[in-house]
Amino acid sequence: MTRQIQIYDTTLRDGTQAENFNLSVTDKIRISHKLDELGIDYIEGGWPGSNPLAVEYFKAMQNETLKHAKLTAFGSTRMFSNTVEEDKTVQALLAAKTTVITIFGKSWDIHVHDALRIELEDNLLIIEETLAYLKPHVQELFYDAEHFFDGFKKNAEYALATLGKAIDGGAQCLVLCDTNGGMLPHELPPIIERVQSFLKERNSTVELGIHAHNDSETAVANSLLALSLGVKQVQGTINGYGERCGNGNLTSIIPAVGLKMGYQCNAAENISKLYDTAMLVDELANLPHNKYQPYVGRSAFAHKGGIHVSAVKRNPLCYEHIEPEKVGNIRRILISDQAGKSNVVHKAKKFGIDIDTDSPIAASIVKELKELENQGFQYEGAEASFELLMRRAVGSHANYFTLNGFRAINSKRKMDKPPETEATIRLEVGGEEVHTAAMGDGPVNALDKALRKALTQFYPALDEVELIDYKVRVLSGDQGTGARVRVLVESKDQYEQWGTVGVSLNIIEASWQALVDSINYKLMRDEKRNGKQD
């Protein structure tokens, strides 16, 4: 029987410890749903006892529905100076109201003495007591054995004793952590085998997990090796983000597990969504995507000239270890105009647009897409803009309004007061010109208000559109304030949530492009819904 592997994602907690990696609550919610769609089994949302953002996220997620993934709260063993009932960190975990909780504790005696400054026996006590207290309140309880491998190498007897206390406390999975990321693959097997023997000696059926960091560039290798040795749960992050050099990269681990090792996991069944998931995380974190990343990098299946291209055209297996489409990526022949057509056709089908691969329209869309990408446009986090682009190309996009001009004025009249912003817009709807103005909290907010003010008399449903996120990214820092910027706008109504994008040397112009796409998308979707209702 094929082994079932659990995929545990900690992008929203461990991943956010990476330098320059920041997510809003809205970002975290959106990524949670994307991970759920991918088939991730456990989503570690954060440490609710450590910061208000985590508390806000868990509160917001109580109103969200995940189809498969189980939301997990992360926290530490109680402080030795507190009782478990009085410990704020423990109580915050319960307040998060998740069905799964992961507790981490110290496995390395040096951490017990130097970090916690308590006795070794005291650490064993707080491990067992914390887990035992939480056990009746959750469906599943996991224990992260922090610094386990380093601790084992220095004091194996004590490291195993901490696992024993976690079992006594009711942990259902013991996750062995290479917290410093210094383990090399050849060191792993004897340690994991000793832990397995320890469990047999105790007649314990508790599962094992692996949590590897990448400081020695071996996190993925260590994770896969651990799975081959019988470990059931693997923890990691999308794109390998994490503290210092990062965590085990799930975008490499998942395809290896499902496509190469033959293990079963829900994420492997939805693996064609892997590329989109990786790109979305980067876009929302406002970080450049690593084009050379295995499986999901744009260069992972790119071929440039010479013998390789000739061979790949005859048989892609000559220079590709898997078919790129399996993970949602595409093959790119860098000197060929054909690159990208399959992706366009794939997206067209998703949007309900009929385009044939050999159609001149597909070629024109690819050409336009390449030109826009050269300008800095990216559509991974802005599919609404991409759908509008495709509909304009096939002539199925209605012209709901025409812009004649806009102006945004910032003024600061008093130094102790915030600036005042006014936006003025002139546009036409059905031959009728409308001229409106609105005040806002900044030029983008003012433009948004003025645009809606002008259009709601014709399209009342625009009142229900809410702008929920706005991101700006400088595309080329070497030009200073003269660099291009990409603006990503996230909007929603009562039916759905959508992203749009704009790019310009002028931040207001880029914002305007994204706002106009957002309104156009809303009107298009409403028209389709009303058509179906009729």
Which 8-state DSSP code applies to residue 115?
I
Confidence of residue 337 (pLDDT cuts 50, 70, 90): very low
Confidence of residue 310 (pLDDT cuts 50, 70, 90): low
Residues 105 and 242 in one domain: yes
Mean pLDDT along residues 212-228: 98
Residues 129 and 270 in one domain: yes
- Residue labelled with tokens 């690819």: 366
Range with the lowest mean pLDDT among 252-256, 395-399, 479-483? 479-483
Range with the lowest mean pLDDT among 157-161, 198-202, 384-388? 384-388
Residue 478: partners with Cβ closer than 8 Å, 6 or more residues away: none
The whole model's pTM is what? 0.75
Residue 267: partners with Cβ closer than 8 Å, 6 or more residues away: 7, 38, 39, 40, 41, 250, 254, 258, 274
As to burial, measured by CB atoms within 10 angstroms (0-12 exposed, 13-18 middle, 19+ buried), residue 155 is middle
Residues 279 and 406 in one domain: no
b/e per residue 311-342 (b: at least 16 CB within 10 A)? ebeeeeeeeeebebebbbbbbbbeeeeebbbb
Q: What is the pLDDT of residues 154-182, one digit of tens each?
A: 999 999 999 999 999 999 999 999 999 99
pLDDT at 532 over 70: no
- State the pLDDT at residue 378: 83
pLDDT at 280 over 50: yes
Among residues 249, 233, 116, the alpha carbon closest in space to that of 181 is found at: 249
Q: What is the CATH number of the domain that holds 518?
A: 3.30.160.270
Inter-CA distances, 448 with 436, 437, 463, 491, Å: 12, 10, 11, 11
Residues 278 and 406 in one domain: no
Q: Which among 241, 258, 285 is the end of a domain?
A: 285
Residue 88: partners with Cβ closer than 8 Å, 6 or more residues away: 49, 82
Confidence of residue 239 (pLDDT cuts 50, 70, 90): very high
Contact 283, 238 (CB under 8 A): no
Mean pLDDT along residues 5-13: 98
Mean pLDDT along residues 287-313: 77
Residues 265 and 411 in one domain: no
Is 388 part of any domain?
Answer: no
Q: Which among 285, 302, 332 is the end of a domain?
A: 285
Contact 56, 83 (CB under 8 A): no
- State the pLDDT at residue 13: 97
- State the pLDDT at residue 335: 43
- State the pLDDT at residue 381: 76
- Residue labelled with tokens 């009782």: 83
Range with the lowest mean pLDDT among 182-191, 224-233, 469-478, 506-515? 469-478
Residues 67 and 215 in one domain: yes
Highest mean pLDDT of the ranges 61-75, 316-330, 349-363, 397-411: 61-75
- Alpha-carbon radius of gyration of the chain: 26
CA dist., res. 153 & res. 352, Å (int): 58
DSSP output for 189-258: HHHHHHHHHHHHHTT---EEEEEEB-TTS-HHHHHHHHHHTT--EEEEBGGG--STT-B-BHHHHHHIII
CA dist., res. 456 & res. 451, Å (int): 9
pLDDT at 460 over 80: yes
- State the pLDDT at residue 313: 62
Residues 133 and 277 in one domain: yes
Is 144 part of any domain?
Answer: yes
Count CB-CB contacts under 10 A for residue 63.
7
Is 396 part of any domain?
Answer: no
Average pLDDT along the chain:
91
Count CB-CB contacts under 10 A for residue 286.
18
Is 461 part of any domain?
Answer: yes
Q: Which among 242, 258, 285 is the end of a domain?
A: 285
User: Considering its fold, how many domains does the chain have in total?
Assistant: 2
Two tokens, residue 452: 């809606």
Query: Which comes out higher in pLDDT, residue 425 or 363?
Result: 425
Helix (H) or strand (E) holding 333: strand 332-333
pLDDT at 338 over 80: no
pLDDT at 413 over 50: yes
Is 387 part of any domain?
Answer: no
Mean pLDDT along residues 388-397: 89
pLDDT at 237 over 60: yes
Percent of the chain at pLDDT exceeding 70: 94
Confidence of residue 185 (pLDDT cuts 50, 70, 90): very high
Is 30 part of any domain?
Answer: yes
In this structure, is the dihedral angle defined by the CA atoms of residues 35, 41, 44 and 45, taken in order, positive or negative? Answer: positive
pLDDT at 105 over 80: yes
Inter-CA distances, 39 with 142, 199, 353, 460, Å: 20, 30, 27, 38
Residues 254 and 105 in one domain: yes
Two tokens, residue 370: 């390449």
CA dist., res. 527 & res. 400, Å (int): 11
Looking from the CA of 120 toward its CB, the CA atoms found within 13 Å total: 12
- State the pLDDT at residue 437: 95
Helix (H) or strand (E) holding 421: strand 420-429
Residue 132: partners with Cβ closer than 8 Å, 6 or more residues away: 168, 169, 170
Is 482 part of any domain?
Answer: yes
Is 188 part of any domain?
Answer: yes
Mean pLDDT along residues 216-233: 98
pLDDT at 104 over 60: yes
Confidence of residue 534 (pLDDT cuts 50, 70, 90): very low
pLDDT at 308 over 70: no
Residue 89: partners with Cβ closer than 8 Å, 6 or more residues away: 49, 50, 75, 76, 78, 79
Among residues 264, 256, 271, the alpha carbon closest in space to that of 220 is found at: 256
In this structure, is the dihedral angle defined by the CA atoms of residues 256, 10, 117 and 91, taken in order, positive or negative? Answer: negative
CA dist., res. 331 & res. 205, Å (int): 45
Q: What is the CATH number of the domain that holds 209?
A: 3.20.20.70
Structural domain for 220, as ranges:
6-285
